[in-house]
Each structure stands twice: as structure tokens, then as C-alpha cells.
Amino acid sequence: MEKYDVAIIGAGMSGIAAGIRLAHFGKRVCVFERHYAPGGLNSFYAKDGRKYDVGLHAMTNFVKPGVKRAPLNRILRQLRISREDLNLSEQLGSRIAFPGRDLRFSNDFALLESEVAAAFPGEIDGFRKLVEDVNAFDDTEFNTPYQSARSVVQSRIGDPVLEDMIFCPLMYYGSSTEDDMDFGQFVVMFKSIFLEGFARPREGIRNIIKLLLKRYKEAGGIRRMNTGVAEIRLSGNRVERLVLDSGEEVEADIVLSSAGYPETLGMCSDTVESSTECSVGRLSFTETISIFENDPSSFGWGEDTIVFFNSRDRFAYRAAEGAVDLTSGVICIPNNFDYGEEGLPEGVVRVTCLADYDQWKSYSEDEYAANKERWRGRIWDAARAFMPDTTLDYSRDCKAFDMFTPTTVERYTWKRRGAIYGAPTKTKDGSTPISNLFVCGTDQGFLGIVGSMLSGIAMANTHALR
């Protein structure tokens, strides 16, 4: 039977990053991935000869190369990946769009500050104090008790519209809980989106995954694709072995799982009593990807990189009540990064909205296809209301289209209910009731591309290298 120092479940960002770290330190490490493609929630695929990214809008946490303690530069150092190889292009500028109000922001925080001062002059002092609160918070400490971010923000900001405008991007890009979030998570998201910023490799997520896999291989890590872990067999309080989908068994001293906390405990051979109340997440999304012949600047959409929109008086970030919640969402235009001379070959517009897993799951195959077609136009219209007037005729000009729903996420990542941001309760120290089984990635609590890599590194350091 094969024996490893560390077995990692999942070749997403956190699993590969953990693997690189462990391989660098001479551990015999193997990553087991059920899918044929690496990348997990942020993978890539081809359809009708065209390359698509599964989810990439932007890499958050963008800072300039010299900023030593910033997460992006820290992980690249720890993974021994060069900044130049990432080939990142910065966003042109993004926007939070609410009825009658816009707040623009970019990779220069001064823009958001000036926008808040102009649109909410009575709130700018409170906003600056909130930024001080964010900077004073120790986001490296795993054991900080839960504190409602809404209550902290409300202690600084009186206008509920500004409060909601601040929360909207932070929730869409990383909240597994409805309407409120832990202040610790708020701090991580606020820094990664507003104080740092957005960038994108011109080649998309492939570039990041290729670099990670190359590094992992060079460091001596082993990767087994199309090889799911079916069961985590326990002996008392320890993992004794892993049973793979094929029936093969392997042994490992330590198991790091990026499959999600409830998903991981669900693989255990005995029922595991968890001291952490950790239910399956309720929040999932749908995303449409529309391809156009020309760059969006040709139809008047050349300025916004990402637009977070909300059409209601108050922004509600909750599980959708119908198949899709059209009242808020995110529009991402991958063309609108500063690529210099070399733009993207086609125009791309991605629109994300909250969606209901149960509804999509209940459809027959035909109903599912019909509903995708039905919602496609509605989602487009909801998003278009927040964009500049355009000469575009969607049904005439859109030359290719794809769409994922909560069931797509579940089918390809085995994330229950397609809950992209995982369980509502996070396990910040990565521990489980099993002494040599730990979680990394989404359910450890660091989200997004940079966050999940940070999580993989931190969990490898804490549980397998100390």
C-alpha cells in the first residue's frame, strides 16, 4: 500500500499551495483530485473550441511588487513563484452601483475615499475611523471570537445606504453567511478589495494554475487526477487510511482536505461528532458568460472592470427565493484590465447573481436547459440597467454563451448545494475532531484565489511542518 507523509484531498488553489509548501520541505506528499482538471472552483474548460475560465473575475489583494507583508507577495515568496511570471494586469476601475448612487474604486484607495466624501459628506469621518478599525484588527489571529461586522460598521457609519454599499462587494466576493459576516472576515475582504485591489493575468486562471503545478512538480510533489477519495477510514480518533473511488487504499500520517468541512466529515467511515456547529452553506450563484465579436469599449462599456449592483432600497444578501435573484449581482468585464497594447481577442461580459440550489436541482434535463435560456435574457437586462447606454443588441451581437448554476458547481467540485463559499461557520485553525485530519481552503475561512492559497500554506505550516 502506498504511504505518504501527507495526503491532500483536492487540487484546488489551497490544496496545490499546501502541496508545494510541503514538498519544498521534503515531505512525501500526494494530492488526490476527483476531477480530470485541476483548479477546483477556479478552473478552466473549453467549449466549442473556445477557452473559458470557470469563475475568474479578478485576483483580489493586488499590491505593487515591493510591499513585503502584503498577502500576495508573501504567498509568492513562500511558494517561490516570481511576480513577473504571474503577468498581472491591473483593473481599470470598478464601481458599486445602487439606485441613484455610484461609488467608484480602483487599486488606489484614495479614489474610494474621495467618492465617499463627495457622495456622503456627513459620513467621511466615520468612514476613515472604520478604515482605522480595519487596519488595527489582527487578521492573523485564528482564535478571535465572532463579532458582527454590521455592528462595527454601524458604530462608524450612520447612513444605511453607505453601509450596504460597503458590504455589497465584500459579501459577493467572500461571505458564506447571509446579510452579516464576522468582523474578521470583513477585515480580510475590505483589505483585499478596497485597500489592495484587483488584477488579472491576461491568459486568465490557466496561467496561475500552470505556475502552481509546475512548482509542485519541480518540488517533487505527486498528483493523482481522476482519483477521488471515497472514504476516510478511521481507527479511533485517527485516520488510518484513505479509500479511493477505485477501491485502492493508501496511508498517510496527516490528511489535509480542501473538500469542505461537512463534505470531509461526511467521508469519514464512522459518524464523527463535531464540536463545531458546521452546516452546509445556503448561498450559491449563477453566472452567465457572454462573448462578443468586439471589445466592450466598442459598444460603450470600456471603463468598468467590475460593477457590484443592487436595485433595492436595502441590499439583501440572502439565499435566492426563486431560481435567480435579479435584485443584485456582479458584472465583470475581463477586457477592462490594463493589458497595454495587447487586449483580449474577443469581448467578454460575465454576470453573477444569487441563485437557489433547490430550484435548479428540481428541474428535469429539458427544464434545466429551458430555464437557462429563460434566465439568460433576464439576467442580462438586470445587469444592463446599471451600465452606460449602449448600441449593443444582445440577441443579435452575442456570438457565444455559457452559464453555470448551483448544480454545475456541485457536479464539478462536489461542494454540497453548490455553496461556493462553503459552510457558514469556519474552522479557522483547520482542526477537526480527528487528530490527524485538517481542513484547508474555503472552510478554513480564507476565500478567493489568494485567500485559499494563503490557507493552504498556513495549514501546511501549522499542522504538517511544525
Name the site residues for ligand FAD (rule: CB under 6 A).
9-15, 32-35, 40-42, 54-60, 228-229, 258-259, 287, 409, 413-415, 420, 441-442, 447-449, 452
Q: Which is nearer to ligand FAD, 40 or 347 (CB)?
A: 40
Q: Which is nearer to ligand FAD, 161 or 323 (CB)?
A: 323
Q: Which is nearer to ligand FAD, 296 or 418 (CB)?
A: 418
237 CB burial (10 A radius; 0-12, 13-18, 19+) = exposed
Q: CB–CB of 361/367 below 8 Å?
A: no
Nearest distance, CB of residue 188 and ligand FAD, angstroms: 12
For residue 319, give the amino acid letter. A
Nearest distance, CB of residue 275 and ligand FAD, angstroms: 22
**3-state DSSP call for residue 148?**
strand
Q: Which is nearer to ligand FAD, 107 or 157 (CB)?
A: 107
For residue 400, give the amino acid letter. A
Nearest distance, CB of residue 271 and ligand FAD, angstroms: 18
- Whole-Å CA distances, 337 to 64, 88, 383, 420: 15, 9, 20, 25
DSSP state letters, 227-291: --EEEEEEETTEEEEEEETTS-EEEEEEEEE-S-HHHHHHHBSSPPPPSS--PPP--EEEEEEEE
For residue 203, give the amino acid letter. E
Nearest distance, CB of residue 59 and ligand FAD, angstroms: 6
Nearest distance, CB of residue 330 and ligand FAD, angstroms: 9
**3-state DSSP call for residue 324?**
strand
Nearest distance, CB of residue 324 and ligand FAD, angstroms: 14
Q: Which is nearer to ligand FAD, 91 or 371 (CB)?
A: 91
Q: CB–CB of 137/183 below 8 Å?
A: yes
Give the side-chain half-sphere CA count within 13 A for 358.
Answer: 6
Length of the chain counted residue by residue = 466
